[in-house]
Amino acid sequence: MKHPSIDTYFSDHPNYEDMFDHCGYKRLEFVIFGDYQGDYAVIIKRDNKYGFVVIGYGSCSGCDALEAVYDEPEKYQALFKSIERDIHWGTPAELVERIDSDIPEWYNHDKGYQENMSTLRRCLRLLEMSQEVSEATK
């Protein structure tokens, strides 16, 4: 697994979106549930595989893992490895089921909850249709 160079990655303030890019993943969708603290839901692709992961975040180094390891390369590497272990890999259809079970409904009060859920499902359904078309034209 290619992990980002600490020198290039930490030349600016770290964020979870860039972390995936620097580690060789293609971000297909990235939505935020919450405000000062909450969860990021990310759909990614690597090679020909699709993945989904939920990452909790906070507003400061006391409650956000990435903020806490900003100046510590070894801990950053450990953080990313733990995030990688949490990635659920599967077909787009399998990941839709995973999204429905992994994203807690306590965000229902969040004004963007329904829209974010729709965005994630739509992304995966488009990927599923794309795969079907690809298979049909082989």
**Has this prediction a pTM greater than 0.95?**
no
C-alpha to C-alpha distance for 88 and 52, rounded to whole angstroms: 5
Nearest to 75 by CA among 83, 11, 89: 83
pLDDT at 2: 45
Judged by DSSP in three states, 43 sits in: strand
User: What residues in the chain have per-residue pLDDT under 70?
Assistant: 1-14, 104-109
Tell me the β-bridge partners of 56: 39
CB 9 within 8 A of CB 24: no
pLDDT at 45: 93
Q: Which residues contact 18 (CB under 8 A, 6 or more apart)?
A: 9, 12
pLDDT at 106: 62
Q: Where is 36: in which H helix or E strand?
A: none
C-alpha to C-alpha distance for 69 and 65, rounded to whole angstroms: 6
C-alpha to C-alpha distance for 93 and 72, rounded to whole angstroms: 38
pLDDT at 11: 47
